[in-house]
Amino acid sequence: MKREIWINLPVKDITASKKFFSSIGFFRLHPAHEHNDHMGAIQAGDNNVMVMLFPEKVFESFTQTGISDTKQFAEALFSFTAVNKEEVDEMAKNVKHAGGTVFAEPGEKDGWMYGCGFADPDGHRWNMLYMDMSKMPK
């Protein structure tokens, strides 16, 4: 069995979360969990990083703790790359259309990065970045 990392996230509504992530275009529903209504699995990027979506009560049973209040606090920032600036712009547009919140509009950072930050419907924070490595400070 190959080694993988799975990101596990609590969600209020499995169906709505799967719809959101498949709508924004970077994530694909894992076929084994596509019609599952008690958990979800989405694959991210070219390496198929797995993001598992669990109802909040199930997630709490795994972690044996409460869930972060994502309206007040960030639990983490999940970052992923874009192939160009246009992909970042498209992601921001897709997130808004799918019901997410863009908390950092697309823009330049430090002269070599271009990105945007958004929150999914459950408040988990994501960051998409295009990095022009030829402009990265030495």
Which segment of 5-9, 104-108, 119-123 scores lowest on mean pLDDT?
5-9
Question: Using 50, 70 and 90 to split pLDDT, how confident is the model at 78?
Answer: very high
The reported pLDDT for the residue numbered 58 is 93
Question: Using 50, 70 and 90 to split pLDDT, how confident is the model at 49?
Answer: confident
Report the 10 Å Cβ neighbour count for 70. Answer: 16
How does pLDDT run across 5-25, given as a tens digit for each residue? 889 999 999 999 999 998 998
- Residue 116, helix vs strand vs coil: strand
Report the 10 Å Cβ neighbour count for 91. Answer: 23
Question: Using 50, 70 and 90 to split pLDDT, how confident is the model at 54?
Answer: very high
Helix or strand holding residue 76 (H, E): none
Q: Identify which has the larger pLDDT, 36 or 88.
A: 88
Contact 88/94 with Cβ under 8 angstroms?
Answer: no
First to last CA, the chain: 39
